[in-house]
Chain A
Amino acid sequence: MLMLLAWPVQSWAVTVGSKAFTEGIILGEILTGTLRDAGIDTAHRAGLGGTRIVYEALKGGEIDAYVDYTGTISAEILAGSDASTDDTMRAALREDGIGVTGSLGFENTYAIAMRVDRARALGIATLSDLRTHPGLKLVFSHEFLDRKDGWPLLRDRYALPQRDARGMEHELAYRAVGSGAIDATDVYTTDANIRAYDLAVLRDDGKVFPEYQAVILYRLDLPAGAIAALERLEGRIDLARMQAMNADVTLHGKTEQVVAAGFLRDGSRAAPDTDGLWRRLARTTAEHLTLVAISLGAAIVVAVPLGILAFRRPRLGQAVLAAAGVAQTIPSLALFVFMIPLVGIGGPPAMIALFLYSLLPIVRNTHAGLSGIPASLRESAEALGLPRATVLRRIELPLAAASIMAGIKTAAVINVGTATLGALIGAGGYGQPILAGIRLADTGLILEGAVPAALLALATQGLFELAERRLVPRGLRLPRPAPGA
């Protein structure tokens, strides 16, 4: 655990954050470039996940500024307090130590879209038309499905009959609606995919969706110069410009950095990320290995003694095994979000989550390996007059070695796979190209993360099998003799 504290913390004057979607990242790059142009040393922690994660990171000082939307702020962040007007919203944010700029110049509101031909065939043009087609297959992004100003609000206000709406990763939902696999999904009005997939945006005839003006949220303790630089972005980006920038990334394969640099024009210091494939691969590999090595190492150090304890004290043992089992069932994203107020974003929360997930297989196999030692061997050891600690070291642990190693191997392989989710909270690793690839519908980028992750899992498996051969005593690998032979 001590090693977690030594996670390298780079010191930047200002850290910009962004949510994990194209527009969020482009705007994050624009904020970063703007601050750098103003002579402020700035880093960008891109693609950090959903609203909760990014806002908690802002509140906790992990990041200093990011772009959000007024509708999201009032319905999600300030839910429960009065944020009906600009002034009350500003006052409510101030209590968290957060300031807000005016609109950047465009609104990115939620809308529901269908394929043009399908909408025309069913005669659907407005949201209230959905009421007459209860059998429609609706799939929404997870965030829209859950948030109060999303699907629940829409369903209640329009009294919609569809009850089995499902959640899906947003970019996948676009592809599904484009291919006709589903009927409708949520879209952002600035989204380039609307044109790309030939979708019709249904009119919000009941005026249900609140305003979603893009604004910058920033920490009030930022230097005045930084705040002034951010405020200069007010009114600078209109809807057409935003759509065009989104299209450049999602449809024309440019990176967010290049698009943002284009916006900032000459003199910009938002140097596009020009790392080559091998450079990127080396970085993601190093990040991934660090996540796995530290979390797995800590898990081994903690779980093997826990397994021994569980074996020695059967009643306590049941509690230990149950607790490790419960940790296993917490969804990783939920665990990440719990962790942010405690340890921030980046490597540490991901490592703690991976550490917790690695405990169960090791504890369970240590316990099983020790319990599986025949009573006759245990009693022979006891009758010799060896002290308890020596019996454990010389007899019990070697006899349980095969089982313990199998547990560690299982934990390691699971760990390598789960570590890809660390990218959601800025921990880097192979998850980063995978997430970016899904976002940009770029299969090459997905493979850039998925292939090394799979290879690493195989290599881990092989490595532990080698270690098993070295650590499991040779006498245990011989075929068992027939009794009395």
Chain B
Amino acid sequence: MLELQGVAKRFGEAQAVRPLSLAIPEGGTTVLIGPSGCGKSTLLRMLIGLAPPDQGNVLFDGAPLSGQLTPARRRIGYVIQDGGLFPHLTARENICLMPEHLGWTTQAQAERVQALAALTRFPAARLDAWPAELSGGQRQRVAIMRALALDPDVLLLDEPLGALDPLIRRGLQDDLREIFRSLSKTIVLVTHDMHEAAFFGDRIVLMRDGAIVQQGDVTDLLEHPADPFVTEFIRAQRSELPL
């Protein structure tokens, strides 16, 4: 579905991503994890063309992403940490930006919003509220609805629970996994939290200093660490692991 071939990215002096390759298989959830500054967010931004690589290729459906940016973006949903909702548009208007731009009927838009609200367990009565009137968890649900509006094949999420209180976080976490399962889309999620990675990830990609240290499921990482860093990183967060 998505493939990175020998991509690298530098921001001034800092080498954010060293030359690396990564294939993201269709369906299932891939989690990019690592300490802050390891390049996981940059990798995610490469997948939707917000951070074009200095070298190498990003392939979407087997063809270079750069040559099909606009159509590809309509098949990829993107959610960031604080939701990135437009404060001057209501929840509904945020969700319907693209459907409206593509000329959907009002009826079709309303139906889509209704279905998404049910899916994300967002109270329908709050659909016409402004982002500033919503709670953090509600804003994040709206951001997910906006990303799913066009029923994309891929959903990219950059620390979607990062800015939330622990309690709200737990509730949204469960809902989010439900959503991922019911949609059976290709999901790529960035987090720095091992608990979250284990909770969501069919496959975990552990990164450090712009390079991939190991990829595999959580058992692989625990039982066959490729590097002492893997064990160290997992152990540091172990107390929170639900294993």
Which of A383, A390, A479 gathers the greatest number of chain B CB atoms within 10 Å? A383
Interface readout for A148-187 with B: 1 if CB under 8 Å, 0 if not? 0000000000000000000000000000000000000000
Is the CB of B78 closer than 8 A to any CB of chain A?
Answer: yes
Instruction: Say yes or no: A380 contacts B89, CB within 8 Å.
Output: no
Instruction: Say yes or no: A390 contacts B136, CB within 8 Å.
Output: no
- In the assembled complex, how far is the CB of residue A399 from the closest CB belonging to chain B, in whole angstroms? 6
Instruction: Say yes or no: A475 contacts B131, CB within 8 Å.
Output: yes
A380-B84 CB under 8 A given contacts A387-B70, A484-B163: yes
Which residues of B are found within 8 Å of A319, using beta-carbon distances? Answer: none
Instruction: Say yes or no: A380 contacts B134, CB within 8 Å.
Output: no
- Range for the number of chain B residues in contact with chain A: 35 or more
What's the Cα separation between A474 and B131 when bound, in Å?
A: 11
Is the CB of B199 closer than 8 A to any CB of chain A?
Answer: no
Which residues of A are found within 8 Å of B84, using beta-carbon distances? Answer: 376-377, 379-380
A382-B50 CB under 8 A given contacts A394-B97, A474-B130, A483-B163: yes
- In the assembled complex, how far is the CB of residue B163 from the closest CB belonging to chain A, in whole angstroms? 5
Instruction: Say yes or no: B73 contacts A384, CB within 8 Å.
Output: yes
Which residues of A are found within 8 Å of B87, using beta-carbon distances? Answer: 399, 473, 475-476, 478
- In the assembled complex, how far is the CB of residue A389 from the closest CB belonging to chain B, in whole angstroms? 11
Which residues of B are found within 8 Å of A470, using beta-carbon distances? Answer: none
Interface residues of B in 37-82 (CB under 8 A from A): 45, 48, 50, 69-74, 76, 78, 80-82
From B45, B86, B132, B168, A377 is in contact (CB under 8 Å) with B86
From B82, B98, B164, A386 is in contact (CB under 8 Å) with B98
Interface residues of B in 111-139 (CB under 8 A from A): 130-136, 139
Which residues of B are found within 8 Å of A475, using beta-carbon distances? Answer: 87-90, 130-132
Is the CB of B165 closer than 8 A to any CB of chain A?
Answer: yes
Instruction: Say yes or no: A476 contacts B88, CB within 8 Å.
Output: yes
Is the CB of A395 closer than 8 A to any CB of chain B?
Answer: yes
Instruction: Say yes or no: B88 contacts A399, CB within 8 Å.
Output: yes
Closest to B69 in A: A385
Interface readout for B161-198 with A: 1 if CB under 8 Å, 0 if not? 00111001000000000000000000000000000000
Closest to A373 in B: B86
For A, the interface residue count at a CB cutoff of 8 angstroms equals: 28
Interface readout for B90-105 with A: 1 if CB under 8 Å, 0 if not? 1000000110010000
What's the Cα separation between A478 and B139 when bound, in Å?
A: 15
What's the Cα separation between A388 and B73 when bound, in Å?
A: 14
Interface residues of B in 5-54 (CB under 8 A from A): 45, 48, 50
Instruction: Say yes or no: A481 contacts B132, CB within 8 Å.
Output: yes
Which residues of B are found within 8 Å of A395, using beta-carbon distances? Answer: 86
Which residues of A are found within 8 Å of B76, using beta-carbon distances? Answer: 383
Interface readout for A362-404 with B: 1 if CB under 8 Å, 0 if not? 0000000000000011011111111100100011001101000
What's the Cα separation between A475 and B130 when bound, in Å?
A: 5
- In the assembled complex, how far is the CB of residue A369 from the closest CB belonging to chain B, in whole angstroms? 12
Closest to B169 in A: A484
Instruction: Say yes or no: B136 contacts A479, CB within 8 Å.
Output: no
A399-B86 CB under 8 A given contacts A386-B98, A394-B97, A483-B136: yes
From A379, A474, A476, A484, B50 is in contact (CB under 8 Å) with A379
Instruction: Say yes or no: B163 contacts A383, CB within 8 Å.
Output: no
Closest to A483 in B: B163
Which residues of A are found within 8 Å of B45, using beta-carbon distances? Answer: 379
Instruction: Say yes or no: A383 contacts B86, CB within 8 Å.
Output: no
Instruction: Say yes or no: A398 contacts B88, CB within 8 Å.
Output: yes
Which residues of A are found within 8 Å of B73, using beta-carbon distances? Answer: 383-385
Which residues of B are found within 8 Å of A474, using beta-carbon distances? Answer: 130
Instruction: Say yes or no: B134 contacts A383, CB within 8 Å.
Output: no
Which residues of A are found within 8 Å of B134, using beta-carbon distances? Answer: 481
Which residues of A are found within 8 Å of B97, using beta-carbon distances? Answer: 384, 386, 394
Instruction: Say yes or no: B78 contacts A484, CB within 8 Å.
Output: no
Is the CB of A224 closer than 8 A to any CB of chain B?
Answer: no
What's the Cα separation between A384 and B69 when bound, in Å?
A: 11
Interface readout for A215-232 with B: 1 if CB under 8 Å, 0 if not? 000000000000000000
Which residues of A are found within 8 Å of B131, using beta-carbon distances? Answer: 475, 481
Instruction: Say yes or no: A385 contacts B74, CB within 8 Å.
Output: yes
Closest to B81 in A: A376
- In the assembled complex, how far is the CB of residue A373 from the closest CB belonging to chain B, in whole angstroms? 10
- In the assembled complex, how far is the CB of residue A471 from the closest CB belonging to chain B, in whole angstroms? 11
Instruction: Say yes or no: A481 contacts B88, CB within 8 Å.
Output: no
Closest to B87 in A: A475
Which residues of B are found within 8 Å of A6, using beta-carbon distances? Answer: none
Which of B87, B98, B101 gathers the greatest number of chain A CB atoms within 10 Å? B87
Instruction: Say yes or no: B101 contacts A390, CB within 8 Å.
Output: yes
Which residues of A are found within 8 Å of B168, using beta-carbon distances? Answer: 484
Is the CB of A480 closer than 8 A to any CB of chain B?
Answer: yes
Which residues of A are found within 8 Å of B81, using beta-carbon distances? Answer: 376
Interface readout for A455-485 with B: 1 if CB under 8 Å, 0 if not? 0000000000000000001111011110111
Which residues of A are found within 8 Å of B78, using beta-carbon distances? Answer: 380, 383-384
Which residues of A are found within 8 Å of B98, using beta-carbon distances? Answer: 384-386
Instruction: Say yes or no: A484 contacts B136, CB within 8 Å.
Output: yes
What's the Cα separation between A476 and B132 when bound, in Å?
A: 8
- In the assembled complex, how far is the CB of residue A176 from the closest CB belonging to chain B, in whole angstroms? 56
From A385, A473, A484, B88 is in contact (CB under 8 Å) with A473
Closest to A401 in B: B88
Closest to B139 in A: A481
Instruction: Say yes or no: B130 contacts A380, CB within 8 Å.
Output: no
Instruction: Say yes or no: B48 contacts A479, CB within 8 Å.
Output: no
What's the Cα separation between A259 and B131 when bound, in Å?
A: 71
Which residues of A are found within 8 Å of B85, using beta-carbon distances? Answer: 380
Q: Which 9 A-B pairs have the closest CB atoms?
A: A380-B84, A385-B73, A473-B88, A475-B130, A478-B132, A383-B78, A385-B74, A398-B88, A484-B136
Q: Taking beta carbons and an 8 Å cutoff, which residues of A are in contact with B?
A: 376-377, 379-387, 390, 394-395, 398-399, 401, 473-476, 478-481, 483-485
Q: Taking beta carbons and an 8 Å cutoff, which residues of B are in contact with A?
A: 45, 48, 50, 69-74, 76, 78, 80-82, 84-90, 97-98, 101, 130-136, 139, 146, 163-165, 168
A sample of 16 more A-B contacts (CB under 8 A), given A475-B90, A485-B165, is A380-B78, A380-B85, A383-B48, A383-B73, A384-B78, A384-B146, A385-B98, A386-B98, A399-B87, A475-B88, A479-B132, A481-B132, A481-B135, A481-B139, A484-B163, A485-B136
17 pairs, CB–CB < 8 Å, chain A vs chain B = A379-B50, A384-B78, A384-B146, A386-B101, A387-B70, A398-B88, A399-B86, A474-B130, A475-B89, A478-B130, A478-B132, A478-B133, A479-B132, A481-B135, A483-B136, A485-B136, A485-B165
